[in-house]
């Protein structure tokens, strides 16, 4: 009778141990799943933020490029005006004076 009681106790211990193990595995799986979902959502949020930063940087770079082009065009226009003025002055210096 002692052996059959020990077997029942052992079976109960094994069942209880398996139940605890099952609860542990379910909890661990839920934790891993939730952690993975959180990691993916944070990665997506990071990518969206990074996209916004890159887009803003490109807009600023484009704006700077436009400003640099405008500055270059203004400088070219100034140089052209100064060149025409210098040409007129040199032309007057080398053109013989005619007496009428």
pLDDT tens-digit map of 47-90: 898 888 889 888 888 887 888 888 888 999 999 999 988 888 88
Exposure string of 56-74, with b = 16+ CB inside 10 Å and e = fewer, is eeeeeeeeeeeeeeeeeee
- DSSP letter string over 3-53? HHHHHHHHHHHHHHHHHHHHHHHHHHHHHHHHHHHHHHHHHHHHHHHHHHH
Average pLDDT over residues 33-53: 89
Residue with the bigger pLDDT between 4 and 71: it is 71
The reported pTM is 0.46
Residue with the bigger pLDDT between 39 and 2: it is 39
Cα dihedral value 26, 29, 35, 40, nearest 10: -130
């Amino acid at each position: 009778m002692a052996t059959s009681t020990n077997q029942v106790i052992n079976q109960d211990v094994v069942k209880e141990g398996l139940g605890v193990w099952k609860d542990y595995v379910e909890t661990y799986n839920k934790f891993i799943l939730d952690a993975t979902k959180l990691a993916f959502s944070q990665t997506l949020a990071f990518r969206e933020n990074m996209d916004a930063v890159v887009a803003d940087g490109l807009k600023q770079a484009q704006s700077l490029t436009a400003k640099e082009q405008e500055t270059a065009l203004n400088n070219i226009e100034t140089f052209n005006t100064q060149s025409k003025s210098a040409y007129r002055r040199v032309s007057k210096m080398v053109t013989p004076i005619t007496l009428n």
